[in-house]
A and B are shown apart, each in its own frame.
Chain A
Amino acid sequence: SQELEQSPQSLIVQEGKNLTINCTSSKTLYGLYWYKQKYGEGLIFLMMLQKGGEEKSHEKITAKLDEKKQQSSLHITASQPSHAGIYLCGAARDNYGQNFVFGPGTRLSVLP
């Protein structure tokens, strides 16, 4: 069964707009990862969050993990066409960092 849910499934935004992608679990997450992927290609690691309330930023992308460690959001500021792709959240099922599962992904298109 799918243990991670993502919303929205797909997103089309105009270049320069901000956007947010959410990742939700019914169980406590042991390490939440965000990846970007162009379908059929490898995963590009974006960020990893481990502590409740943690927030990390890299360039125009910010990711947050809520205090309960059951929900994470990925926020892109002033989106660019280069941000287009599939964003996947992933998390470990246990505290040893193994038994990894992925969310279904969010397909992002950025219109120039």
Chain B
Amino acid sequence: GAVVSQHPSRVICKSGTSVKIECRSLDFQATTMFWYRQFPKKSLMLMATSNEGSKATYEQGVEKDKFLINHASLTLSTLTVTSAHPEDSSFYICSASRANEQFFGPGTRLTVL
């Protein structure tokens, strides 16, 4: 089956710093990847659609300058949380689509002190 990895799995950072999260499709190429965020006791919310070679499409209410997405290759998308604040602490999951199916990464827990 298709495998999607995320790195790191957990990250703790100080307020004001930037954090980069990587999402990789290990055994397939994904022209489109997606980034989700989960708030405590809430469902997963789509943040943005990452397209290889072009700008990401952000959902309403998601700050594109805050959450920088780069899809540099067909197997890698990165999400950078810039100038992180405690309210950015959350669980972030990426997914990649292949043949009309979605495959999810294991998620990254971000804690901003």
Contact = CB atoms under 8 A, between A and B. Distances in A.
A19 B21 CA distance: 37
B8 to A, nearest CB: 13
B74 to A, nearest CB: 15
B43 A31 contact: no
Interface residues of A, number: 24
A85 interface: no
A42 B97 contact: no
A31 B93 CA distance: 20
Interface residues of B, number: 25
B47 to A, nearest CB: 12
A42 B93 contact: yes
B102 A90 contact: yes
Nearest to B31: A98
A33 B105 CA distance: 15
A41 B107 contact: yes
A48 interface: yes
B105 A42 contact: yes
Interface-central residue, A31, A98, A105, by most chain B CB under 10 Å = A98
Given A88-B43, A98-B49, A101-B46, A43 B104 contact: yes
Contacts of A102: 36, 43-45
Interface in A80-112: 88, 90, 92, 95-105
Contact of A31 (B42, B100, B104): B100
Interface of A: 31, 33, 35, 39-43, 45, 48, 88, 90, 92, 95-105
17 contacts: A31-B100, A39-B41, A40-B107, A42-B93, A42-B104, A42-B106, A96-B97, A97-B97, A97-B99, A98-B34, A98-B97, A99-B46, A100-B34, A100-B102, A101-B46, A104-B42, A104-B43
Name the 5 nearest CB pairs between A and B, nearest first: A97-B100, A42-B106, A104-B43, A102-B44, A42-B107
Interface of B: 32, 34, 36, 38, 40-46, 49, 91, 93, 95, 97, 99-102, 104-107, 109
